[in-house]
């Protein structure tokens, strides 16, 4: 009986901590500083994945080499450096094609990963819910499908030194197995799609139920590790997992809390965005991120202390546009302001995003101003109506009181006359009860 191809886990890959050499490229001298910042972020990703960094190399390349991504001369330098530093793994910040990956591995005689693969592996480690695990497995299988030759070339190299003809035999066996694996992968992708559809339908039922409840929904969005989960915990007194690592949160978390006026709201914590988020993951997580798309108002959290905060903020806005949420009302939150109040970057962020609220999620600073802004945004999405509710539908009055601000209430015959300030979504549903 044929077994489905199984992707290696981090534990199988890294029984002992591997040593990685990181490579990022730039095409002009004025780009080097940005390239080095990108290497710093790749280092955080790689450390989150579970490897030790032995070198970070910014490479100036004028033109991408179709066969090996970097030029032959630069490749030879990198091979020498990898041996000097005793690296076990090479990680490129750029996306490399399956053929480039195979050629690079032949040159280095080491495993080569790109940024996309590292992000996929980090996501695989950190997914908790069934939907997140399914989405990530689907993305990983899609990524590995065109790289089956690479997986078999690893085995061929490992056995090639075991005797004359050993590598050639495995090569032939590998070609047969690749065809089998392709069919199995196609079948597995179909199974995953069916399971994802089922989970998505269940989540849609929950979302519709929330919509019917008419409680306003705020979604926390922003770059990974900006402090969204810390803010969620602080505002709602929840106990959501917080860690100073990239992608500590992958699964959508929803909590209810009350503003000072008594207005109940839902607050959703979403997966963090990142520069060059693989398209495989944008597609895979679109259903999860639909929670943000469906929210009434977005809270865009920016780490004001990060040297690349402007680029991170722009990345978040760009991904929101890709997801169809670019026109949503947004409150921009500058987090960790206690560490960045006077710096030039915070000033530039305020200039680019004028409607900003400076806060410290950790030290609960700026929360009153944030709540005022949230209430102001809600007020712009409200309508005042005078409604006539029949006694037979008196249960509606409880819902109106819970979701709106009652201005006056009176009784006329068997009806309740109520003047109330309501969210527009609920006001539209109650048009048939407007007192004429």
Nearest to 23 by CA among 63, 65, 61, 62: 61
Rg of the chain taking only CA atoms, in angstroms? 27
Domains by residue range for the chain, with CATH: 10-179 (3.40.50.11060), 214-379 (3.40.50.300), 382-433 (no CATH)
pLDDT for 216-255, tens place per residue?
Answer: 889 999 998 888 889 988 998 866 555 555 555 545 678 8
Query: What's the whole-model pTM score?
Result: 0.74
Place of tokens 């399914």: 134
Place of tokens 């090569």: 171
Angle at 347 between CA 346 and CA 353, to 5 degrees: 85
What is the Cα–Cα distance from 101 to 92, expressed in whole angstroms?
Answer: 10
pLDDT for 305-349, tens place per residue?
Answer: 988 899 999 988 988 888 778 888 999 999 998 887 667 888 888
For the CA atoms of 143, 149, 154, 158, what is the dihedral angle to 10 degrees? 160
Distances (CA, A) of 173 to 7, 208, 307: 19, 52, 51
CA 101 to chain centre: 25
What is the Cα–Cα distance from 370 to 89, expressed in whole angstroms?
Answer: 45
Question: What pLDDT tens digit does each residue of the chain (436 aa) get?
Answer: 444 545 545 445 555 789 999 999 999 878 899 999 999 999 999 999 999 999 999 999 989 999 999 999 999 999 999 999 999 999 999 999 999 999 999 999 999 999 999 998 988 887 777 887 888 899 999 998 888 766 555 544 444 444 444 445 445 565 777 788 888 889 999 999 999 889 878 777 766 665 556 678 899 999 988 888 899 889 988 665 555 555 555 456 788 888 888 888 889 888 788 888 777 777 666 666 766 677 889 999 999 998 889 999 998 898 888 877 888 899 999 999 888 766 788 888 888 887 899 999 999 999 999 999 999 998 888 788 999 999 888 888 888 887 788 899 998 888 999 999 887 777 878 888 898 7
What is the Cα–Cα distance from 59 to 393, expressed in whole angstroms?
Answer: 71
User: Would you say 49 and 245 are in contact if contact means Cβ atoms under 8 Å apart?
Assistant: no
What is the Cα–Cα distance from 63 to 8, expressed in whole angstroms?
Answer: 33
Strand partners, 434: 387
What is the Cα–Cα distance from 98 to 152, expressed in whole angstroms?
Answer: 13
Query: What is the β-pairing status of strands 382-390 and 415-423?
Result: antiparallel
pLDDT value of position 214: 65
Give the contacts of 404 (CB within 8 A, at least 6 positions apart). Answer: 420, 421, 422, 423, 426
Give the contacts of 419 (CB within 8 A, at least 6 positions apart). Answer: 384, 385, 386, 387, 406, 407, 408, 409
Burial class (CB in 10 A: 0-12, 13-18, 19+), 157: middle
């Amino acid at each position: 009986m044929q077994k489905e191809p199984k992707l290696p886990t981090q534990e199988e890959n890294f029984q002992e901590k591997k040593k990685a050499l990181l490579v990022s490229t730039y095409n002009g001298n004025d780009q080097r500083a940005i390239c080095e910042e990108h290497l710093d972020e790749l280092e955080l990703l790689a450390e989150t994945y579970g490897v030790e960094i032995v070198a970070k190399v910014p490479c100036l390349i004028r033109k991408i080499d179709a066969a090996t991504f970097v030029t032959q001369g630069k490749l030879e330098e990198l091979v020498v450096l990898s041996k000097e530093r005793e690296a076990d793994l090479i990680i490129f910040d750029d996306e490399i094609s399956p053929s480039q990956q195979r050629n690079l591995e032949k040159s280095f005689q080491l495993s080569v990963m790109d940024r996309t693969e590292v992000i996929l592996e980090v996501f695989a480690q950190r997914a908790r819910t069934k939907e997140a695990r399914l989405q990530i497995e689907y993305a990983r299988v899609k990524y590995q499908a065109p790289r089956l030759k690479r997986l078999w070339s690893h085995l061929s190299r490992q056995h090639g030194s075991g005797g004359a003809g050993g590598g050639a035999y495995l090569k032939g066996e590998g070609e047969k197995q690749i065809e089998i694996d392709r069919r199995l992968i196609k079948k597995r992708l179909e199974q995953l799609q069916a399971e994802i559809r089922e989970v998505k339908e269940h989540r849609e039922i929950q979302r519709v139920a929330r919509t019917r409840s008419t409680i306003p929904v705020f979604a926390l969005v922003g770059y990974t590790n900006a402090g969204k989960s810390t803010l969620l915990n602080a505002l709602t007194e929840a106990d959501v997992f917080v860690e100073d690592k990239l992608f500590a949160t992958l699964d959508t978390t929803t909590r209810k809390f009350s503003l000072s006026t008594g207005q109940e709201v839902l607050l959703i914590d979403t997966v963090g965005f990142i520069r060059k988020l693989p398209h495989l993951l944008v597609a895979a997580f679109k259903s999860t991120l639909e929670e943000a798309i469906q929210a009434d108002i977005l809270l865009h959290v920016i780490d004001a202390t990060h040297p690349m905060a402007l680029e991170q903020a722009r990345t978040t806005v760009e991904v929101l546009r890709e997801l169809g949420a670019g026109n949503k009302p947004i409150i921009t939150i500058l987090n960790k302001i206690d560490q960045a109040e006077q710096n030039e970057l915070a000033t530039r962020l305020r200039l680019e995003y004028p409607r900003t609220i400076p806060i410290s999620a950790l030290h609960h600073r700026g929360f009153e101003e944030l709540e005022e802004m949230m209430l102001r945004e809600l007020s712009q999405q409200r309508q005042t109506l005078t409604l006539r509710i029949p006694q037979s539908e008196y249960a509606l009055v409880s819902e109106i009181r819970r979701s709106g601000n009652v201005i006056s209430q009176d009784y006329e015959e068997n009806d309740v006359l109520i003047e109330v300030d309501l969210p527009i979504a609920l006001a539209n549903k109650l048009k048939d009860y407007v007192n004429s």
